[in-house]
Amino acid sequence: MSVQLSSIAIVTPTHKDDFDFFEILRLKTTLSTLETAPHFFLLPQSLDDCRLKQIFPNSEIVRMPDWFFKSVNHYNVLMLQEALYNNFLLFEFILLCQTDSFVIGDINPLFSFDYFGASWKSDYRLTEIFGQIFVNRPNWLIGKNTTVSAGNGGLSVRNVNRMIEMVAFGKTKPYWPTFEKIEGRKLNEDVIFSFLGTQRSLKIPTREVADSYFVETKLFNPYELNGIVGFHALEKYQPGIERHVFEALEIDFPR
């Protein structure tokens, strides 16, 4: 499936009014790689964007209420809002690219998927029983089991209309309010979308396919990428390796 980059928006959510050197380097690498795709910052309503506009003068701004940026849990609720995706209805896809992520190659093969993200270190097994959802419960637990292994949201390709469809489908579930909880939440938004997409028979990557394009926790050789085009949270999960990726790309990276 071939999609013009004009049909894709790069979206960077942030609650900060300035970035450090590494965040700027990652984002500029992504924007130069996908140079014809428009870029949007997703910001709190009240955040001053002057500094970001100085660094990224060609980027546009989309704002959502400040409440959604108060914590990681609030952010997870933001990602589950139809109103968020309505901002991007002019585009077929968004590439959600957090500040700890970057893209270095062609993502066109990913547009055959409805939702695409890197694999998680371990699978999630979700069990529906009596109107409730249980996470990683024993196999003998009676109920409808769904296992998901890929779809990390920090760097993810999302079909805009399918995201809206999944939110609408999710709201038919009696346990949907637990997905929008702030305190005691069990699942992040990316696991929820992989779960709902699998139930809807949408196209979600297997672990093997996800690992061949996007990397977070899976070990890899930075000098032999073999088709890997995107990275998320390398400094968190594989400290030090990000420098070697940029070195292999001949991009200056402070030591």
For strands 214-215 and 119-129, give the pairing. Answer: unpaired
Phi, psi angle pair for 103, to nearest 5°: -120, 140
What pLDDT, on the 0 to 100 scale, is given for residue 142?
A: 76
- Domain assignment present for residue 255? The answer is no
Give the span between the Cα atoms of 229 and 215, in whole angstroms.
8
Q: What is the pLDDT of residues 95-105, one digit of tens each?
A: 999 999 999 99
Q: Which helix (H) or strand (E) holds 129?
A: strand 119-129
Least confident of 135-144, 188-197, 241-250: 135-144
Per DSSP, helices labelled H in the chain are 21-33, 50-55, 72-78, 82-86, 160-170, 176-179, 189-199, 207-211, 234-237, 241-248
Let me know how many helices (H) and strands (E) the chain has, helices first: 10, 12
* Helix/strand/coil for 146: strand
- Domain assignment present for residue 234? The answer is yes
- Domain assignment present for residue 254? The answer is no
Quote the domain boundaries for residue 105.
5-248
Q: What is the pLDDT of residues 169-178, one digit of tens each?
A: 999 999 999 9
* Helix/strand/coil for 7: helix
Q: What is the pLDDT of residues 32-90, one digit of tens each?
A: 999 999 999 999 999 999 999 999 999 999 999 999 999 999 999 999 999 999 999 99
Task: Give, in order, the Cα–Cα distances in Å from 63 to each of 56, 69, 109.
Answer: 16, 11, 30
What pLDDT, on the 0 to 100 scale, is given for residue 220?
A: 96
Q: Is the pLDDT of residue 4 over 60?
A: no
Q: What is the pLDDT of residues 108-152, one digit of tens each?
A: 999 999 999 999 999 999 999 888 999 988 776 678 889 999 999
CATH code for the domain in which residue 106 is found: 3.90.550.10
Over residues 4-25, the mean pLDDT reads 91
Q: Is the pLDDT of residue 254 over 70?
A: no
Q: Is the pLDDT of residue 252 over 80?
A: no
- Domain assignment present for residue 60? The answer is yes
- Domain assignment present for residue 89? The answer is yes
Number of domains the chain contains: 1
What percentage of the chain has pLDDT greater than the value 90?
87
* CB-based contact 78:153 (threshold 8 Å): no
